Amino acid sequence: MKGMQDLIKQLELLLGRIQSAMTQLDVVADERQVQELTALAQAPDFWSDPQAAAATSQRLASLAKHTESWRRLQQEVGEALELARLAEPGDTTLQQEIRASYEAAQAEYDAREFELKLSGPHDRSSAILEIHAGTGGTDAQDWAQMLQRMYLRWAEAHGYATEILSLSAGEEAGLKSATIEINGPYAYGKLKGEAGVHRLVRLSPFNSDNLRQTSFALVEVLPQLEQTAELEIDPKDLRIDVYRSSGHGGQSVNTTDSAVRITHLPTGTVVAIQNERSQLQNREKAMAVLRARLTALLEAEHKAELSQLRASDKAAEWGSQIRNYVLHPYTKVKDVRTGHETSQAQDVLDGDLDPFIEAYLASQMGETRA
């Protein structure tokens, strides 16, 4: 019976840790938001704006998955604990079943515990991710597109809704820049450590000699902020231009002037959105991105760390990278800041970023990884 008593203590400890984590993460507030979004999705005119409705539906699904997973874990451990307390002495079969349930629940909790490291002011927010090709010509533009695919794959694996807000195609291949909206709880907190210069070393597919080429791309990550955020933007400080959206190679994808470029004159911050949507919708998206950028600038200035907090202050070139991706003469991805590395480069490019994300979060808390 001693074995069962030890198991009961372990279950009690795990249940307490789960409940503490749920309180810290404010799962109850997320559940209220799920109810609000569910009611919104049931409104008769919900699909009058299909793109907005799709984004809301995806956010609802992501948020519901997040809250339900914590509730399910809490319930499973609670039921196992209750069963253990009611077990007959000497029932070794039942004890083995409860032990297996405990070990599975403990493993799931360990996998989710890194969410507790996301305690920054905007870590719970969705994210705006921007990718810019740097030094390296066509190879760099192709590298930027590879990074876009990597982050889209990562988001898909985590149930995050994504939308490409703006894309500037390269002349021959790849892209010069892209702005992606990633919707879901903790998207910004998880991705914030991706901001910086990413360096690729490979055999170039764009030269006849197939020589080894080094390319760079810059990634910026901003939190999506609600319109109620404490940031006043004077309309007089804005210059708003509208123009016709263009697709790959300059091909027109919209016959109306729906693309929007907003310039914040005091800071020189420029945001351009050219999705295939109405001018009004593009303007709203551009204002959301502008609000995020200006808030990041304001916070950076308050901390007197503008050059460190804004990835855009760093040139996308040799010596400034945060992570190296080597595909030739060997395969390895290594993060310069944390030292975390893997030889499974293709897995990383397919979106397996969690080990790097967790290593960065741990390093920010002064932890070390085995």
pLDDT in tens, 9-58: 999 999 999 999 999 888 999 899 999 999 999 999 999 888 778 778 87
Is residue 178 very low, low, confident or very high in pLDDT (cuts 50, 70, 90)? Answer: very high
Higher pLDDT: 245 or 327? It is: 327
Choose one of 67, 92, 117: the last residue of a domain.
Answer: 117
Is 229 a residue whose pLDDT tops 70?
A: no
Residue of 112 and 367 predicted with greater confidence: 112
In this predicted structure, the answer to whether residue 252 has a pLDDT above a threshold of 60 is no
Lowest mean pLDDT among 86-95, 110-119, 243-252: 243-252
pLDDT band at 301; cut points 50, 70, 90:
low
Amino acid occupying residue 3: G
Over residues 321-350, the pLDDT tens digits come to: 999 999 999 999 999 999 999 999 999 999
Q: How distant is the alpha carbon of residue 184 from its chain centre?
A: 8
Final residue of a structural domain among 69, 86, 117: 117
Identify the pLDDT of residue 314: 53
Q: Given a cut of 50, is residue 249 above it in pLDDT?
A: no
Q: Are residues 27 and 159 in the same domain?
A: no
What is the mean predicted confidence (pLDDT) over 173-181? Answer: 94
Q: What is the CATH number of the domain that holds 226?
A: 3.30.70.1660
CATH number assigned to the domain comprising residue 79: 1.20.58.410
Domain match, 82 and 165 both: no
Residue linked to tokens 């959301």: 288
Q: How far apart are CA 193 and CA 362, in angstroms?
A: 11
171 or 74, which is more confident? 74
Point out the domain boundary residue: 82, 117, 152.
117
**Domain range enclosing 15:** 2-117
For tokens 């515990």, name the residue: 113
221 and 99 co-located in one domain: no
What is the chain's Cα-based Rg?
24
Confidence band of 310 (pLDDT split at 50, 70, 90): very low
Number of domains in the chain: 2
The CA distance from 232 to 6, in Å, is 57
Average pLDDT over all residues of the chain: 86
Are the CB atoms for 245 and 274 separated by under 8 Å? yes
Residue 228 confidence (pLDDT) above 50? no
Residue 369 has what pLDDT? Answer: 41
What is 81-100 written as a DSSP string?
HHHHHHPPTT-HHHHHHHHH
User: Within this chain, do residues 189 and 266 fall inside the same structural domain, yes or no?
Assistant: yes
For residues 149 and 245, state if they share a domain.
yes
